[in-house]
Structure 1
Amino acid sequence: MATVAFIGLGVMGYSMAGHLKTRGGHDVTVYNRTTAKAEKWAKEFSGNLALTPAEAARDKDFVFSCVGNDDDLRQVTTGKDGAFRAMKRNAIFIDNTTASAEIARELAAKAQAQGFHFLDAPVSGGQAGAENGVLTVMVGGEETAFERARPVIEAYARSVGLMGPSGAGQLTKMVNQICIAGLVQGLAEGIHFGKQAGLDIEKVIGVISKGAAGSWQMENRYKTMNEGKYDFGFAVDWMRKDLGICLTEANRNGAALPVTALVDQFYKEIQKMGGSRWDTSSLLALLER
């Protein structure tokens, strides 16, 4: 058992913190910007709550965070009452936010200067993966810190891998999102084409999903796409944030991302349609409008 803090109890963090308590058996203290959410978690999981990130992090072996973006991450780490103000020596800060590689490197350097460790550890698997404790975690940072943290992370993960030095976890998550963007657009166009051609989409997917066209997106999203249901899942707003990070990094490293840039603009159009909170599979709605 370790002493653990978890900062950020959104749609992902709430369940992840819960698994650290129930599966991992750790002593968990949570912080959330909305205190009522932390109170609910503490009651449900018989855990502890703190009123600031610094209070949550004090004397903990491992401190996790899962917040919205770079600015949120800076606020809960190095801001007023941030966790970095209370981290003990040799503790490990594990950030599950999807953020930039730049801030990962920045925070890793600050952590090292203060005598503790920082791992950038974004996740893939969505809300369902968090609830079921089967997330994929891609980590950047020092190998020694990773090996210490891995057994703790595994409480909410199916797969955990060290991708390289600080920032490599975030860069790997960018690859993940780039691939998903193209896959979902291809699936949307395929279903749209099939409908226009008068085909039975159930039968079509039943066959092609067993061949080279098969994917997680196809298996898990084609039914709701075919029915025009998008009020669930990974929101368009979140995907645009992630793709913005990808495109910014591509401008920095010289990578050409023509499809990613195009799909990002398609999502922009969906936002204009009122679909900001729709699932990313709503690319089909844009074709059918």
Structure 2
Amino acid sequence: MMGSTAGVIGLGDMGSGLAKNLLKAGFTVKGFDISEKRLGDFAATGGTPAASVAQAGEGADCVFVMVMTGAQASSVILGGGGAKGLKDTMPPGSAILLTATIQASEVRDIAAGLAGSGIHFIDTPVSGGFPGAQGGTLTMMAAGSDAALEKARPAMESVSATIHRVGAEAGMGQTVKACLQSLIGSIFTATFEASVLAAKAGVDAEALFKVVSTSSAGCGAAKTALENIIDRKFEGTGSHINTMYKDMTIAMDLARELGVPLFTAATAMQLFQAGRTKYPDGDNWTVTRVLEDIVGAELSRKGAGS
């Protein structure tokens, strides 16, 4: 998109992928992160570091917001504490794309704060994790007006292989993401448990992986989890346990608000709680180590055993 300018707020595992693929598509990309190292890495790829959130929004056609919490998203977009937000510097007719996963109620509050600004707002959490972000193959769950989606579509297509419009109202994107994460988290923890059962029973790791991969259970979530387990990759895979734990708490909060029992997801969340307490620097798969410690066996390509 020659001549178009995009911004990215938050240049971590996910945001750096957004920026990379926007640059690849021909956008001029301005980025901001509180980490000087991330800003340096971003500049090395051809991006333009901004000195502040507000500066990243100046003259931008669209800005992606990839932060961790609702409070951070609100501060970035609406400003606060004496600092300007994107609302203060982005031109009318531009679009803000909230790709972070936060509470639907927080998104609705942000949308209300943008009312009258002339800036389009798209609530569009993503799925696909680190590989999807870096590879430009994310799935987007977008909620926004026709005009907003039309404005942002070239940028969205640069970072996503599949764009689903899940509604027009802010908050619906996050609601769909909460439902999705309750399922993914449950698939993960069921896979963790199955791997430990196999380990204790003396099953060959490679054999189990091949069977799961070619069965009806062999979805992307289960295969990714099992492969990381048998390769003993519990850190640095781009799927930190804190993110999944946060997402599961969002799903459980939504369920409590609506009076919906989520028995399986609740158990999964507690397993992630155990994992992040015991191994706070680990990725999702590290929950398996908690179970392995209990039974005294582990599954690896080198063979199951104690």
TM above 0.5: yes
Percent same amino acid among aligned pairs?
A: 28
- Taking a change above 3 Å as real, the CA distance of residues 28 and 227 of structure 1, as seen in their structure-2 partners, is closer
Q: Distance in 2 between matches of 1:220 and 1:126?
A: 11
Deviation at 1:111, TM superposition (A): 2.1
User: Which residue number corresponds to residue 219 of structure 1?
Assistant: 223
2:69–2:102 Cα contact (<8 Å) kept: yes
Is residue 51 from structure 1 mapped to residue 51 from structure 2 by the alignment? yes
- Paired residue secondary structure (2:64): strand
User: Which residue number corresponds to residue 186 of structure 1?
Assistant: 190
- Paired residue secondary structure (2:270): helix
2:209–2:227 Cα contact (<8 Å) kept: no
1:88–1:116 Cα contact (<8 Å) kept: yes
1:21–1:28 Cα contact (<8 Å) kept: yes
CA-to-partner distance for each residue in 1:162-208, whole Å, 9 max, x for gaps?
11121111111111211111101111121222222222232133123
Deviation at 1:227, TM superposition (A): 4.2
User: Which residue number corresponds to residue 136 of structure 1?
Assistant: 139
Aligned residues: 286
Listed as ranges, the matches of 1:1-289 within 5 Å are 1=1, 2-22=4-24, 24-45=25-46, 47-79=47-79, 80-164=83-167, 165-233=169-237, 234-273=239-278, 275-289=279-293
Q: Distance in 2 between matches of 1:230 and 1:20?
A: 30
- Paired residue secondary structure (1:114): coil
- Paired residue secondary structure (1:115): coil
Deviation at 1:109, TM superposition (A): 2.3
Deviation at 1:25, TM superposition (A): 0.5
Which segments of 5 or more consecutive residues in structure 1 lack a partner in the other structure?
none
CA-to-partner distance for each residue in 1:240-273, whole Å, 9 max, x for gaps?
1111111111111222112222221112212221
* Larger displacement relative to structure 2 (93-102 or 205-214): 205-214
Deviation at 1:219, TM superposition (A): 2.2
Deviation at 1:110, TM superposition (A): 2.4
Q: CA RMSD, aligned part only?
A: 1.6
Partner AA of 1:266 in structure 2: L
Partner AA of 1:69 in structure 2: T
- Paired residue secondary structure (1:113): coil
1:228–1:285 Cα contact (<8 Å) kept: no
- Paired residue secondary structure (1:213): coil
* Larger displacement relative to structure 2 (175-184 or 100-109): 100-109
Partner AA of 2:208 in structure 1: V
Q: Distance in 2 between matches of 1:55 and 1:222?
A: 43
Deviation at 1:209, TM superposition (A): 2.2
Which segments of 5 or more consecutive residues in structure 2 lack a partner in the other structure?
294-306
Partner AA of 2:56 in structure 1: A
Q: Distance in 1 between matches of 2:41 and 2:34?
A: 13
TM-score, normalization by structure 2: 0.88
